[in-house]
């Protein structure tokens, strides 16, 4: 059985990158989805702080797994999505951070 600490980060990173192409269509749904992936990861890390270094070690690998999932689901050209994350693990888990500004979203632009 695969541990959630191995699979949840890839799904979180997928949601963060997928947002770039879907933001105008589904702002609230994506915000909720990102939060639904963040909370269990944070709970696992709070319960087992020793896993923090492990999650940091697999961060780029899991981002790349999420990227593969995103490319498969979206049909977006691979060269449009960076091979390495443009955000840190801390940002990805921060409930107050999003790779876009909700104000900019209403204007049709991401940040």
Domain ranges of the chain: 4-97
pLDDT in tens, 15-64: 777 766 666 667 778 788 889 999 999 999 999 999 999 999 999 999 99
Q: Which of 24, 15, 18 is nearest to 107 (CA)?
A: 24
pTM of the shown model: 0.66
pLDDT in tens, 58-68: 999 999 999 99
Which residues neighbour 17 within 8 Å (Cβ) at sequence distance 6 or greater?
66, 67, 70, 81
pLDDT of residue 106 exceeding 60, the answer is no
pLDDT in tens, 72-92: 988 889 999 999 999 999 999
């Amino acid at each position: 059985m695969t541990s959630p600490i191995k699979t949840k980060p890839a799904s979180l990173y997928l949601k963060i990158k997928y947002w770039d192409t879907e933001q105008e269509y589904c702002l609230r749904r994506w915000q909720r989805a990102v939060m639904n992936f963040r909370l269990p990861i944070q709970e696992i890390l709070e319960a087992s702080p020793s896993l923090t270094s492990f999650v940091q070690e697999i961060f780029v690998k899991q981002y790349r797994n999420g990227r593969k999932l995103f490319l498969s689901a979206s049909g977006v050209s691979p060269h449009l999505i960076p091979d390495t994350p443009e955000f840190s693990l801390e940002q990805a888990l921060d409930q107050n951070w999003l790779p876009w500004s909700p104000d900019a979203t209403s204007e049709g632009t991401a940040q």
